[in-house]
Amino acid sequence: MVCGKANFTNLSRYGEYSERTYRRHYQKSFDFIPFHAQTIAAAIEPSREQIAAIDCSFISKSGKQTWGVDNFYNGSISKSQKGLEISVISVVDVMAHQGYTLSVQQTAKTERQPIPSAQPTAKKKRKSKSKAKAKAKAKAKTEPVISERVKGYLEQLKTARAHFPTAVKYLTADSFYSKKSVVDGVVALDLHLVSKLRIDADLRYCYTGEQKPKGAPRKYDGKVDLSDLSRLELSGELADGTKMYSQVVWHVSLKRQIRIVYLVDQRNPDKQRVALLFSTDTTITPIRLYEYYKSRFQIEFIFRDAKQFTGLCDCQSRQQQSLDFHFNASLAALNIAKLEQQQTQSDTGEGSQRQSFSMATYKRLALNGHLLERFISMLGLDPTFIKSHPNYDLLLQYGSLAP
């Protein structure tokens, strides 16, 4: 409900405690995952269709002494940048299109090993060879870093898995997580992964014909060529005209059978748009696979609302414990706001047709309510008389985006 940044200084201006008290409190340990899980259990009925989603978000942070400062990918500028990174696991109500944070973990800084330089040669190398060498050197630098970070994401997933709602059987993620180590780790936790592949992914058709009496059984029936859709099944057409093609194929790198859904958008004849989704569950229907991947974007709305309204990037500390507390508190505030709006709609009889959530409106209502409470307290007014006035609700909604 504070105006401006949600940091220690600003919290002391609106709250009852001093800045020093907030700093000390942020250094205390608290197990946030069970707290988040209880909020989710109260917000989503067990019978509703639910999935989990995982993704990372870049947090801007200057300085050299902050714990975890490293070069991380910043999606807003599409390149790596110095700062912090958090990994978030959320639970998504598929039908309500609403996501709730279950676990948030800051990514640790990765120590980079020096790469030995090649021996200098007397002859001048070709330009193409020097480019290939530079590309190989850059790959050698980034691969160990990515591998270490992926291990951290999987450890976070293992910790949070015990707190998943029983209805959650699928984990959705973007194309970064379509790696063998991630897929194997997700499947080992009794989950199925729904993600995205590169268009040039190395796929093979599975052989289903009659086997020869001698020799090893035939496994594959040719390489998948997405320019030839004759061997894919047309699974349907979306409301916008996008066609869905599906098939169970073998992924060479993942070393397993997967269900793929190939989306073809031909509304613009000059530029055809395509996407290749997949799931480790070969029995999932194509439309459900598509709906689950689309629901993954609810985690992006969590990042957006937390950065704009609950101060996700506003922590005034360099210590690991304080940063962890701040990230969890910011996302917990967002969870509670969604839960409170849902309960308010249920009390007013609007639960059957849920309205879209607006954190901007919720924060405005909270600020107006806090300000009116201060007026009543400081001016010695009768709270019963004030709150029963018909214009009290209008004052609460003053400046809100929606009633």
- Domain co-membership, 302 together with 379: no
- Domain co-membership, 147 together with 66: yes
- Domain co-membership, 72 together with 153: yes
**Model pLDDT for residues 121-178, shown as the tens digit of each residue:** 555 455 556 666 666 666 666 788 899 999 999 999 999 999 999 999 999 999 999 9
Mean per-residue pLDDT of the chain:
90
User: C-alpha distances in angstroms, 380 versus 4, 372, 374, 395?
Assistant: 29, 12, 10, 19
The pTM (predicted TM-score) of the whole model is 0.89
- Domain co-membership, 30 together with 165: yes
- What's the whole-number mean pLDDT along residues 287-304? 97
Taking phi over 0 as left and psi of -120 to 50 as alpha, with beta for the rest, 222 belongs to left
Scan for tokens 């599906």, then name that residue.
246
Q: What is the pLDDT of residue 350?
A: 61
In a domain, 183, yes or no: no
- Domain co-membership, 168 together with 309: yes
Alpha carbons 244 and 236: distance in angstroms, whole number: 5
Asked whether residue 287 carries a pLDDT value surpassing 70, the answer given is yes
Alpha carbons 375 and 363: distance in angstroms, whole number: 18
- Domain co-membership, 235 together with 158: no
- The β-bridge relationship of strands 170-172 and 50-59 is parallel
- Domain co-membership, 200 together with 217: yes
Q: What is the pLDDT of residue 344?
A: 83
Q: What is the pLDDT of residue 402?
A: 61
What is the number of alpha carbons within 13 Å of residue 28 lying toward its C-beta?
Answer: 7
- Domain co-membership, 166 together with 217: no
- Domain co-membership, 339 together with 234: no
Q: What is the pLDDT of residue 346?
A: 74
Q: What are residue 303's DSSP bridge partners?
A: none
Q: What is the pLDDT of residue 214?
A: 86
The token pair at 144 is 């160990």
In a domain, 403, yes or no: no
In a domain, 162, yes or no: yes
Domain containing 88 equals: 26-114+132-173+296-354
pLDDT cut 90: percent of the chain above it: 69
In a domain, 181, yes or no: no
Binned at pLDDT 50, 70 and 90, residue 223 comes out as very high
Asked whether residue 88 carries a pLDDT value surpassing 70, the answer given is yes
Q: How many domains does the chain contain in total?
A: 3
* In 228-314, alpha helices (H): 286-295, 298-309
Scan for tokens 């990230």, then name that residue.
327
* Nearest-5° Cα angle at 237, 234 to 241: 130
**Sequence-separated (6 or more) residues with CB below 8 Å from residue 269:** none
- What's the whole-number mean pLDDT along residues 18-34? 94
* Residue from 129, 38, 53 nearest 89 by CA: 53
Binned at pLDDT 50, 70 and 90, residue 3 comes out as confident
The residue among 325 and 400 whose pLDDT is bigger is 325
In a domain, 120, yes or no: no
Scan for tokens 């849902």, then name that residue.
342
Q: What is the pLDDT of residue 62?
A: 82
Span of 29-33, 115-119, 249-253, 280-284 with lowest mean pLDDT: 115-119
In a domain, 5, yes or no: no
Amino acid letter for position 47: S
- Domain co-membership, 64 together with 149: yes
- What's the whole-number mean pLDDT along residues 90-114? 92
Asked whether residue 117 carries a pLDDT value surpassing 60, the answer given is no
Identify each DSSP E strand in 238-351 by its residue range. Answer: 243-251, 256-265, 273-279
Domain end (from 233, 266, 289)? 289
CB 348 within 8 Å of CB 44: no
Binned at pLDDT 50, 70 and 90, residue 307 comes out as very high
- Domain co-membership, 40 together with 100: yes
* Residue from 31, 11, 26 nearest 320 by CA: 26
- The residue length of the chain stands at 403
Q: What is the pLDDT of residue 176?
A: 96
- Domain co-membership, 101 together with 205: no
Asked whether residue 7 carries a pLDDT value surpassing 80, the answer given is yes
Q: What is the pLDDT of residue 118?
A: 53
Q: What is the pLDDT of residue 120?
A: 53
In a domain, 200, yes or no: yes
In a domain, 248, yes or no: yes
